[in-house]
Structure 1
């Protein structure tokens, strides 16, 4: 566990492999596991949006962190690839996910809690709902991101842009989204999935390349929730879920954000250049679309450790699958097609 003395200097804990990596998340403690190695943090009444965490190394959740107490965690962000939805199906797609590894637990200040408006938002129909809130009071500074702040730096290891789609059955039109993989270790499976939404997402795609050193300095840890179409007898819709980092944009990283050089980062840049050269000469063949992945039905479970460790998935349309396959090829292949979270 991170000591108070170490806590005073972010250089002691705010990086991984020589690159910025730290998250600060505050809210209400929920479902602490019996072995006190994992749990959730609640920031809204929608229980589908509970943020899971796992303790770092051999650490345990402190005894004072109990159900319903407010808590702040200082954590490290790790990327991962889950198992395919159907291991026996070679076309089954594994989904990129990310986890929070808690290094320290603290009592949050009133400015570090989710703002009061977050607890007043109405959850979507079919979502499991909690009526419990932190209590009366204007907790959290309005429009502040202090309750959910992620900073990471690393090397761009995969990119694809999802165009804005047509309205779905719910009438909602998906916005354009840039998916970026940020790599901090030699293992590409540990790359962290980042999303940038909005009008500037495609502009960002036009200005980054594989191997670019980038910084996320205003990221948020988010949970993507997709309904499966199945509703339980209790009226709660079954969903699939996985975590990602949402960011308003990408910044250029400098030596204070990435202070170590790595051969694998150079390899990513060289691979990207080779792919661009091949494409310019007309030698790059388009990736074949893949069949949609299966989507297991998941609910909030009693064991947060199982949920925190379990990969979550969603089905993707053929256009997205083709982009995913291309991004996987840029990462140097892989036995399993990988959906960039």
Structure 2
């Protein structure tokens, strides 16, 4: 459990690896267990967000029960599940949101999430008492609307929601751009850019971040290996049907992959920003490996770095500034 001085100072828990990694999720508590629960933000039970926690260090409040409103402050960790990249959310603190102190805009964002249309083959939770209480504070429930994905910053801003916010800074480990995508009906879909954001020595813990939009190639070209960036996004689930709906229940089996969906353009990390507070040795190794893998066509492959490589100098190079003492 966080001490009171830590609660007042966000910096004390927002940089678990010396790099910005912080977020919060507000919704209805579901299936609370020993070290794991779910936070439901939409009426669809397929999209309940898994949240891990340490029962000793960051327990759920004793008075909190299933279907109550809950707020979780989280760190986000990349992982592999059956060789697929996913994100794990680990709560460092839970709170019970106080409706008396909740402003109208925040209440509207809660209702905007809950009003998202539920797929016909998914279980609909209806409107539980906690959401109904928030609805009274918010006023008219927003009309159900489909999410718009676009690289247009104005549309991205409209898609931001105060009840689900993730802020990260780290180094680009790898990227993958999918263009000319089509859905099951053959209709064209937006491009999808997936970037692995690295914050630790273990590259398998890199955090998968997705951008959706039209013509993402220019953005992909700027995100080179080893580039330090900051990202604001949302913790989400990629839900895919695995088969036809059950004839009796009408529900379809699905797969669920947790990921971070970016809600803004990635921003550069400058040395004075304070978003990356350390110069990890593995950044130098990552940049050196990248230069070996992708030498410029008009130039010969870069020679191997000498022993005793200066990781601080490499980091300064990545940040676009001179290294100290040079």
| Superposition TM-score, scaled by structure 2 size | 0.76
Contact 1:162 1:176 in 2 (8 A): yes
Partner of 1:149: 165
2:199 maps to what in 1? 184
Secondary structure of the structure 1 residue equivalent to 2:136 = coil
Cα distance per residue 1:153-187 (max 9 Å; x no partner): 11100111110313423x54331011100011100
Partner of 1:75: 74
Question: How has the CA–CA distance of structure 1 residues 280 and 160 changed in structure 2, closer, same or farther, with 3 Å as cutoff?
Answer: farther
Higher relative contact order (CA 8 A, sep 6+): 1
* Count of paired positions: 269
The equivalent of 2:304 in structure 1 is none
Q: Which has the larger displacement, 270-279 or 2-11?
A: 270-279
Cα distance in 1, alignment partners of residues 254 and 75 from structure 2:
26
Answering whether residue 260 of structure 2 is matched by residue 245 of structure 1, we say yes
Indicate the residue corresponding to 2:237 in structure 1. Answer: 223
* Aligned match of 1:132: 127
Kept in 1, the 8 Å contact 2:191–2:215? The answer is no
Structure 2 portions without partners, runs of 5+ = 143-157, 302-326
Q: Which residue of 2 aligns with 1:98?
A: 87
Question: What residue number does 1:2 align with?
Answer: 2
Residues 43/172 of structure 1: CA separation in 2 closer, same or farther (3 Å cut) = farther
State whether structure 2 residue 208 is matched by structure 1 residue 193. Answer: yes
**Residue 118 (structure 1) aligns with:** 113
Distance 1:164 1:280 in 2: 30
> What SS class does the counterpart of residue 294 from structure 2 fall into?
helix
Alignment of 1:276-315 (within 5 A): 276-277=294-295
| Unmatched segments (≥5 aa) in structure 1 | 85-93, 284-341
Do 2:27 and 2:110's aligned partners in 1 also have CA atoms closer than 8 Å? no
Equivalent pair of 1:45/1:121 in contact (CA under 8 Å): yes
Q: Distance in 1 between matches of 2:270 and 2:64?
A: 37
SS of the residue corresponding to residue 177 of structure 1 reads strand
From the superposition, tell whether residues 201 and 259 of structure 1 become closer, same or farther in structure 2 (CA, over 3 Å): same
Residue 231 of structure 1, CA deviation = 2.1
Per the alignment, residue 41 of structure 1 pairs with 39
**Does the Cα contact within 8 Å between 1:54 and 1:101 map onto a contact in 2?**
yes
Deviates more, 1:113-122 or 1:48-57: 113-122
Q: 1:66 to 1:263 in 2, by over 3 A?
A: same
1:16 aligns to what SS in structure 2? coil
In 2, the alpha carbon distance for the partners of 1:57 and 1:266 equals 38
Distance 1:271 1:107, change over 3 A: same
CA RMSD of aligned residues (A): 2.3
Task: Return the offset for 1:206.
Answer: 1.2
Q: 2:280 aligns with which of 258, 262, 275?
A: 262
1:44 counterpart SS class: coil
| 8 Å CA contact 1:115, 1:138 repeated in 2 | no
CA distance, structure 1, for counterparts of residue 298 and residue 256 of structure 2: 38
SS in 2 for 1:102: strand
Distance 1:153 1:282, change over 3 A: same
Counterpart for residue 29 of structure 2: 29
* 1:41-91 CA distance string (max 9 Å, x none): 111101111111011474322212211111111110011011x3xxxxxxx
Take 1:119 and 1:153, find their aligned partners in 2: how far apart are those partners? Answer: 29
User: TM-score w.r.t. structure 1 length?
Assistant: 0.73
SS at the partner of 1:273? helix
Q: 2:51 maps to what in 1?
A: 53
The residue that corresponds to 1:209 in the other structure is: 224
Q: Of residues 173, 178, 182 in structure 2, which corresponds to 1:162?
A: 178
